Amino acid sequence: MCNKIKVIVDDLKKEHGDKITFSNVTMNSAEANQAVTESKLKSHGIIAKDPAGNIVKTVEGHNFGKAKVEKVVKVLLKDS
């Protein structure tokens, strides 16, 4: 995860970490490669899953800001 997005996610984790599980996956790891394949992302991005592990939202790449990440968090909060 690039530093810009990591800072945004870490801040949102402080605010919503009691309701949502946040995790960072290192690119080019087996876990990351599997997640990208399952989510049908081209290379990397955000993959949001419900508690059952079903993908509910993906965001391609990392050329987005806090507003986009907050939208993903809102989707997850609605489902939690």
pLDDT in tens, 16-35: 999 999 988 877 889 888 99
User: Domain residue spans in the chain?
Assistant: 3-79
Extract the tokens encoding 28. Answer: 């080019």
Extract the tokens encoding 50. Answer: 């419900």
What is the structure's pLDDT at 80? 64
Helix (H) or strand (E) holding 11: helix 3-16
Helix (H) or strand (E) holding 78: helix 66-79
What is the structure's pLDDT at 5? 81
Number of neighbouring beta carbons within 10 Å of residue 79: 15
Predicted structure pTM score: 0.81
User: CA 29, 31, 36, 38 torsion: positive or negative?
Assistant: positive
What is the structure's pLDDT at 49? 92
pLDDT digits (tens, 9 = 90+) for 34-80: 999 999 998 888 999 998 989 999 999 877 889 999 999 999 998 66
